[in-house]
Amino acid sequence: MKEKHLMSNTLFAAGAAVVVLGLCTTVATATEPCGDFGECKVLIEINSTDGDIGFHFLMDGDDLNSAEIQDPNYITIFDDSASGPLLEQKLTETFAESAEPVCRNNLKEDPGEVVVTLAEFLERWTPGTYHFFGSGDEGMSTGETELTYELPAAPTDLDFDDSVISWDSGDDLGECATKGQLNGLVMSGVLSTHPEDVEVNAWEVVFEPDVEDGDPLGKLKFTIRVAGDIATKEVTVPSEYLAHLPDDTLVKIEVGAIGGEDNATFTEIFDICVNEDEGCDE
């Protein structure tokens, strides 16, 4: 790489954070190793229920002073550098995600909210090789990873029965694109593969109290990834976890289809009352 492709940056870790009863374990999948980096990844994440789309990126290096990511056209899309005590301490793993604009006008919560359709989003983020650069006291680090338009279909038929979360495979992207709209994107060449034909490598399940930001109860999350080829698409929420939730707790559930390049499409359900006594206030 040319010297002008150097950098400054702080990056990321996109994966499954498992928090059960306040104990946190992070499981991140990415390009491993990624050149001189331990891992790196760029990916697309869609919330098929809320209808929003985001760009996520991850990098894990050793003792960096600065870092940068460039797209396939060598345009810098992210850069940052450490200073003060962080420069003395150094950077290692960094994760970040873009804002997540809604994909349809009827999903706007206020008149000024930005709308970015699926087609517009894909035009913005060029598929291909993304280049990672890091600078440390010992010299330069470089690495590469791929962004694809292989978008897995949104899970469907989510349900919760006492302790079992179940779902099924879908055939579209929910609010962001129906099956008919996706057929048009495939025929026009924007998408090379229809989402229902994208292999699901893993399913990510998140069960969490639906509370206001700052409420400590919101930290009691149960998250797990299971193989994409499981015969019965269901996960049992541990009774020990449920026992730690107060009576009449409202929860929400997310199930995400994780594709081969870590692109993910999530579906959510809300207003589920667990440990019901007097009933939840919805």
Task: Dump pLDDT digits (tens) for 241-280.
Answer: 999 999 999 999 999 999 988 999 999 999 999 999 888 8
Q: What is the pLDDT of residues 68-85, one digit of tens each?
A: 999 999 999 999 999 999
DSSP string, 188-239: TTS-SS-GGGSPEEEEEEEEEE---TT-GGGG--EEEEEETT-SS-EEEPPH
Q: What are phi and psi of 121, to 5 degrees?
A: -65, -45
Confidence of residue 27 (pLDDT cuts 50, 70, 90): very low
Asked if the bond preceding 33 is cis, omega within 30° of 0, the reply is yes
Confidence of residue 198 (pLDDT cuts 50, 70, 90): very high
Higher pLDDT, 116 or 12: 116
Tokens describing residue 95:
């994760």
Q: What ranges do the domains of the chain cover?
A: 3-147, 156-274
Q: Is 97 exposed, middle or buried (0-12, 13-18, 19+ CB in 10 A)?
A: middle
Q: What are phi and psi of 240, to 5 degrees?
A: -65, -35
Tokens describing residue 106:
């009827």
CA-CA distance, 88 to 154, in Å (whole number)? 44
Instruction: Give residues with Cβ within 8 angstroms of 265, minimum separation 6.
Output: 45, 46, 48, 151, 152, 153, 154, 155, 173, 174, 195, 256, 257
Higher pLDDT, 65 or 11: 65
Tokens describing residue 155:
């899970």
Confidence of residue 30 (pLDDT cuts 50, 70, 90): low
Q: Which of 3.40.50.300, 3.10.580.10, 2.60.40.1170, 2.60.40.10 would CATH assign to domain 156-274?
A: 2.60.40.10
Tokens describing residue 118:
């699926």
Of the chain, the percentage scoring pLDDT greater than 90 comes to 81
SS3 165: strand
Residue 225 CA to its chain's centroid (Å): 13
Query: pTM of the full predicted structure?
Result: 0.85
Amino acid letter for position 73: N
Q: What is the pLDDT of residues 138-187, one digit of tens each?
A: 899 999 999 999 999 999 999 999 899 999 999 999 999 999 999 999 99
